[in-house]
Amino acid sequence: MPSKLLLVLAGGSGSRLGRVYKPLLDFGGAPIILRIISYFMQFVDEVVVSVGSKWQLRELVSILPCSVRIVTDVVTGYGPLAGIYTGLSSTVCDLTYIAPADMPCISLSTYLKLEEFVLTGYEAAVPKWPNGYVEPLNTVVISRVALKAVVKLLNAGVKKVSQLYTLLHTAFVPVHYLTSSPNTEFMNLNELKDLRSSK
């Protein structure tokens, strides 16, 4: 079986929530980031959380299990792509589950279904909505192949994560195949109304 990394992207500024650091928001009695990690902890070989600054690192180090490694982005100005690069650069795991730190309802079962596509020959698997929109931060990738593609994007000055999947042999998987409740599972907390509606 391939070794697996869970890479949680926690470098966002939370600007739409008034600069609140979203990974620490309480959701169902626990910080969002702890909920996300708990879903995967027993099924992956390594957990890495990428952050964008030292203050984010300080905020997380006190609450995360000691087995979770926190890495600070080694490039700036590239948003989530910087976190993906930093995380992929820091691991030797064969596969990487990429997850954002503001989606408290994501599930292991969705990632296992995405992984099926990678194990059958794809280099990445990405959820896709009926309208064509994709969830570029909820993916399973072959680590070393994805890292090479991310380097190409960074060298070209490209910042959009969705462009990563144009460089990889990517399976775009319908969200309704992945889960019966995609609106819930792929809900991210961008505004205060999202947090209120989730309680």
pLDDT value at residue 190:
63
Which position has the token pair 């959009």?
A: 160
pLDDT value at residue 28:
83
pTM across the whole model: 0.92
14: pLDDT strictly greater than 70: no
- Which tops the pLDDT comparison, 189 or 56? 56
Helix ranges (DSSP H) in the chain: 32-40, 54-61, 80-89, 108-119, 143-155, 175-178, 182-185, 192-197
The domains of the chain, with CATH numbers, are 4-197 (3.90.550.10)
Length reported for the chain: 199
pLDDT in tens, 113-167: 999 999 999 999 999 999 999 999 999 999 999 999 999 999 999 999 999 999 9
pLDDT in tens, 28-74: 888 999 999 999 999 999 999 999 999 999 999 999 999 999 999 99
Q: Give the C-alpha separation, 199 to 64, whole Å.
A: 23
Q: Give the C-alpha separation, 50 to 110, whole Å.
A: 22
pLDDT value at residue 13:
63
- Burial class from Cβ neighbours inside 10 Å (0-12, 13-18, 19+) for residue 45 reads middle
27 pLDDT tier (thresholds 50, 70, 90): confident
